[in-house]
Structure 1
Amino acid sequence: MFERSLSPALVEAVIASGEIIQQYPHDQPFPSRLILGWRDATPVHVVVAQDAASGDCIVVTAYIPNPALWSTDFKTRRNR
């Protein structure tokens, strides 16, 4: 996250108001989800896991998706 110049405030904003584009209910130790948000015109993906017992969210990763790997709306991975 920090290596990619994505601030904690931006990551929190994506988590709070972004769109869930993929759910990973079988991830361990907690289910996770991929969220799409935007910084101006730049897409941002954030993967978070959530501990259902405590409600805590754990940021797994945050990155700017590569357009070569994602559809133009950044919601679907391209076929390789």
Structure 2
Amino acid sequence: MDLKTYQTLCADSKIIWTKHCLERMQERDISRADVKNGIATGEIIEDYPDDYPNPSCLIFGHTVNDRILHIVAGCDSINIYIITAYYPDTIKFENDLKTRRKGK
């Protein structure tokens, strides 16, 4: 799946938000607008083509306040399924916050 598909579906509000995801976003003070902006400004940094029930990916983007955000989302070419969103840290990622540390 390419980023343009995610961005187009996002712009058309074809987004499915799971209850679990919305709960985690609330705990982390991440809004729906932050996730939408993250997809619109983002880049795919990890691809998970074999995920079930839909291929998914990790998107590196920015919140509306320009904070770095990671979004894990799946897509079936009709809708985007937001799995989770979080603020990355250097415990699991290198300083660029895009490269996963080895063994983490």
Q: Same fold (TM over 0.5)?
A: yes
Larger fraction in helix: 2
Alpha-carbon distance in structure 1 between the residues aligned to 2:29 and 2:94: 23
Q: What TM-score do you get using the length of structure 1 for normalisation? A: 0.87
**Number of residue pairs the alignment of both structures matches:** 78
Alignment check: 8 A CA contact 2:37 2:62 kept: no
Unaligned runs of 5+ in 1: none
Give, in angstroms, the shift of residue 15 of structure 1.
Answer: 1.3
SS at match of 1:28: coil
Partner SS, residue 11 of structure 1: helix
Q: Could you say which structure has the greater relative contact order, defined with CA pairs below 8 angstroms and 6 or more residues apart?
A: 2
Residue 66 of structure 1, CA deviation: 1.8
CA distance in 1, matches of 2:88, 2:61: 11
What CA distance in whole angstroms lies between the structure 1 residues aligned with 2:98 and 2:74? 19
Greater strand percent: which structure? 1
Counterparts of 2:88 and 2:26, CA distance in 1: 15
The RMSD of aligned alpha carbons is: 1.4
Counterpart of 1:13 in structure 2 is 37
| 2:81 match | 58
Listed as ranges, the gaps of 5+ residues in structure 2 are 1-24
Give the counterpart of 1:3 among 15, 18, 27.
27
SS in 1 for 2:37: helix
Structure 1 16/41 Cα, relative in aligned 2: closer, same or farther at 3 Å? Answer: closer
TM-score normalized with structure 2 length: 0.69
Partner of 2:4: none
2:71 aligns with 46
